[in-house]
Structure 1
Amino acid sequence: MAGTFSVSDAVELAVVERSGFVESRHAGSAVVLGPDGEVARSLGDVRSPVFPRSTLKPFQAVASMTSGVTLRGEDAAIATASHSGTAAHVALVRGLLARERIPATALGCPLALPIDTAARDQVIRSGGAKERVYMECSGKHAAMLLACAANDWPLEGYLAPEHPMQRKVLDVLERFTGERPAASGVDGCGAPVHAVSLTGLARGIQKITTAQTSSPFALFREAAVLTEAATEHPWAVGGPGRPDTIAMERLGVFAKIGAEGLMVMTAPNGTSTAVKVLDGSARATTIVALRLLADAGALEHDAVDAVQAELDLWIMGGDRPVGEIRATV
C-alpha cells in the first residue's frame, strides 16, 4: 500500500519529559530551506510523499484568488484558515457567502461545533446546533464557492476532483511545488488532498510566502496578498491560543498547521521549514519548526524561548508543571 516514510526513515524531533524522565518521543522528518531556496538542513526522509492536510490551504486559497475572487485582509486570511469558530471567524465566513447570496448549506465541509471552548459553550447555551460555518475549514470552502460563482462553475459537486475548482487547486499546487502529486485522497473536510514530498511542500510554501505584489504574474501577486493578510490578521488564521496564531503574532513568521503532525513556517527573511511528525501528533510541531528556524539563524533563540512559554507545552503533575514537551532537533 502506498504511504509516507517509515519509522526507520524518521528521526527524533521532540520528547515529552515528565519529572526528569523522557516519557514519550516524537519521530518524524523535517526540511529547512534557506532564503535562496536551497536545502539548508534535512532531518529524516524529506523525499517521500506526505498528505499536507491543512498546510495545503495556502495553495487552495491562491487558487480561489486567481479565479476571479478578490480577497483582501481578513477575508483572505479566513480563506487559508483552520479557524476555531469564534463569532468573528463565523462572521467572516458568512460575509464571504453573502457576496453572492450563497446559502451556508452549500458548504461542503462537515457540520461541526466551534473548536474554541467559549464559542462552543455559547452556541450550546443559546440552543444552537452544529453548523457547517463553524467547521474550521469553512473559510476555504466559502472562497471556493465564490470562485465557482465568479466563473459560472456549478456549486454542486465543487469538491469533486474533476470539478474546475479542484483542477485549479491541483494546477496551483504543481506550479508552486514543482511536483506532480504521488497520490490523492479526501481530506477531513471533504476536499481533495494531494501527496507531495516534504521538500516540495516547503518549496511551495516558500514561494507563496516570499512572493511580491509587484510580480508581473497574478499567481505570485495574489500569493503575496495572501501572505500579507495572514501575517497581519493571524487571529483569523487560527484563533485564541492556537499555536500558529501565537507564532505569527509574536515572531512575525507565516505559520500554518495541518492535521496528522504537519507544520509549515516561513521566517521574515524567507527561511522556510516543513515538519511532519510521523505519529500524527501536532503538539510538538510548532516548537520544532521554530527551533529549526532559530538554528538556521532566521529567528532569535531568546524570542523562541519566550514564545515557547505561551504554547502550552507544560506537562502537569496535579496543579503544577513537572516537565515539558521540547524539541530535540
Structure 2
Amino acid sequence: MPETFSAASAVELAVVERSGFVESRHSGAAIVLGPDGDVLERLGEVTAPILPRSSLKPLQALACVSAGAALEGERLCLATASHAGTDRHVSVVRDILDQARLGEEALGCPPAWPTDTATRDELVRERAEPARIRMNCSGKHAAMLLACVVNGWDVTTYLDPRHPLQVHIREVVERLTGESVAATAVDGCGAPVHAVSLFGLARAVHRIGTSSARSPFALHRQAGVLVDTVRAHPWAIDGPGRADTVAIERLGVFAKGGAEGVMVMVAPGGTTVALKMLDGSGRATTAVAVRLLEKAGALPPAAVAEAMAHVPLAAAGAAIRPAF
C-alpha cells in the first residue's frame, strides 16, 4: 500500500508553548528552493510521496485553463481557492457556472456549511441547509465543469480519474512536478488528488510562482497570470482573517494550504517552501513556512512578525514557535 514518510524520517518543525512550557510538538518534512530552483534546505524526508490535498489546486486550476477554461480575475482565483463560503465567494462561483451555462446541481462536491463563522451563523439563523456551492472546493469544481463544457466532455463523470479532464490534469501535474504520480486518491471534495513528493510539489509551485505573465510559453504565461491574480485578490483564495489570505495580503507571497498539514508558499523573489506536518495538523504550517522563507532571506523579519500577529495559530494562551 502506498504511504507517506514515517515518523522516524520526520523532523520537529514546530512546538506549541504555554506559559513557557512546551505543550505539543509538530513533526514533518519541509524543503526550501531558492529563486533559481536550487535546494537551499531539506528538513526530514522530502522524496517520499505525499497527498498535497488543496495545495494541488494551483496545478489543477492551470490544467483547467490550459484545457480552454477562460478564467480571469476573481474567477481564476476561485478556481485555485479553498474559499470560506462567504456570499462574495459564492457569487463568483455562480459566475463561473453561468459561464458554463450550468446550475449548482452540476457540482460534484458535497454540500457543506461555510467555514466563515459569520456567514455560517447567518445561514443557520435563516434556517438554510448546507450547499454544494458553499463547499470550499466549489470554485475548483466549477472551473473543472467549465473546462468540460468548452471541450464537449461529459459533465456528469468529470471526477472519474479516466475522464479526459482528469487525464489532462494528471499530465500537467507530472509535467510541472517532473515526476510520475505515485498514487491517486479521492480528495475530500470528491476530485482525484495525486501523490507526489514534497520535492516535486515544491518544484511545481516554484515553476508556477516564478512564471511571467509575458512568457512566450502558454502554460508559463497562464501560471504567471494566476499568481499575479491571486496576489491582487487575496480575499478570494481563502477568506477574511484566514491564514492564506493574511499571508498574501501582508507579505506578498503566493500561499496555498492543504488539508492534513500541507503548505506551499512562494516569496515575491521566487524562494519557495513546501512542507507537510506528519500529524495532519495545519495550525503551524503558515508559521513554519514564513519562518523558513525568513531564514532563507526571502522575507524581512519585521514584516514576518507583523503578519504573524494577524494569523490565528493556537488556542488562547498558547503560541507556536518554529523548532529550527
Deviations 1:136-195 (A, max 9, x none): 000000000000000000001100000011011101111111011111110000000111
**Matches of 1:43 and 1:306, distance apart in 2:** 26
Counterpart of 1:325 in structure 2: which amino acid?
Answer: I
Counterpart residue number, 1:274:
274
Q: What residue number does 2:154 align with?
A: 154
Shift of 1:242: 1.0
Is this contact kept in 2: 1:112–1:134, CA < 8 A? yes
How far, CA to CA, are the matches of 1:210 and 1:19 in structure 2?
Answer: 41
- Three-state SS of the structure 2 residue aligned to 1:273 is strand
Q: How many residues align?
A: 324
Write the mapping of 1:215-294 to structure 2, written as runs, cut at 5 A.
Answer: 215-294=215-294
Alignment partner of 1:326 is 2:321: yes
Distance 1:32 1:208 in 2: 15
Matches within 5 A, 1:5-44: 5-44=5-44
> Is the 1:32–1:272 Cα contact (8 Å) retained in structure 2?
yes
Shift of 1:203: 0.4
**Letter of the 1:64 counterpart:** C
The 8 Å contact of residues 10 and 29 in structure 1, kept in 2 or not, is answered as yes
1:100 Cα deviation from its structure 2 partner: 2.5
- Number of the residue aligned with 1:200: 200
User: Which residue identity lines up with residue 28 of structure 1 in the other structure?
Assistant: G
- State the shift of 1:250 in Å: 0.1
Q: Distance in 2 between matches of 1:212 and 1:206?
A: 12
Corresponding position of 1:105? 105
Q: Equivalents in 2 of 1:97, 1:217: separation in Å?
A: 28
* CA–CA distance in structure 2, aligned partners of residues 315 and 157 of structure 1: 42
**2:12/2:28 contact within 8 Å kept:** yes
SS of structure 2 residue aligned to 1:141: helix
Does structure 2 conserve the Cα–Cα contact (< 8 Å) formed by 1:313 and 1:326? no
Gaps of at least 5 residues in structure 2 are none
The structural deviation recorded for 1:4 is 0.4
What is the TM-score when the length of structure 1 is the normalising length? 0.97
Deviation at 1:99, TM superposition (A): 1.2
Say if 2:242 and 2:312, in contact at 8 Å, map to a contact too: no
In 1, the alpha carbon distance for the partners of 2:12 and 2:203 equals 23
Structure 2 counterpart of 1:154, one-letter code: D
Displacement after TM superposition at 1:48 (Å): 0.3
Assess if the C-alpha contact under 8 Å between 1:93 and 1:138 holds in 2.
yes
| CA distance, structure 1, for counterparts of residue 63 and residue 163 of structure 2 | 13
Mapped to 2, the partners of 1:101 and 1:314 lie a distance apart of 43
Indicate if the aligned counterparts of 1:74 and 1:229 stay in contact, CA closer than 8 A: yes
> After alignment, is 18-27 or 307-316 more displaced?
307-316
RMSD: 0.9
CA contact (8 A) 1:17 1:315 kept: no
* Deviating more after overlay: 250-259 vs 126-135: 126-135
Alpha-carbon shift at residue 121 of structure 1 (Å): 1.2
1:295 Cα deviation from its structure 2 partner:
0.3
Identity fraction in percent = 57
Q: For residue 136 of structure 1, what is the aligned residue in structure 2?
A: 136
Question: Residues 111 and 131 of structure 2 are in contact (CA less than 8 Å); yes or no, is this contact kept in structure 1?
Answer: yes
Looking at structure 2, the residues matched to 309 and 82 of structure 1 have their Cα atoms a distance apart, in angstroms, of: 22
**Contact 1:254–1:267 (Cα < 8 Å) also in 2:** yes
Residues 113-122 or 288-297, more deviating = 113-122
- What is the one-letter code of the residue matched to 2:320? I
- Conserved 8 A contact 2:202-2:273: yes
Residues in 2 aligned to 1:269 and 1:132: alpha-carbon distance in whole angstroms: 37
SS of 1:307's equivalent?
A: helix
Structure 2 distance, partners of 1:100, 1:26, is 43
Shift of residue 314, structure 1, vs aligned partner: 4.8
Question: How do 1:18-97 and structure 2 match up within 5 A?
Answer: 18-97=18-97
Check conservation: 1:315, 1:325, Cα contact below 8 A: no
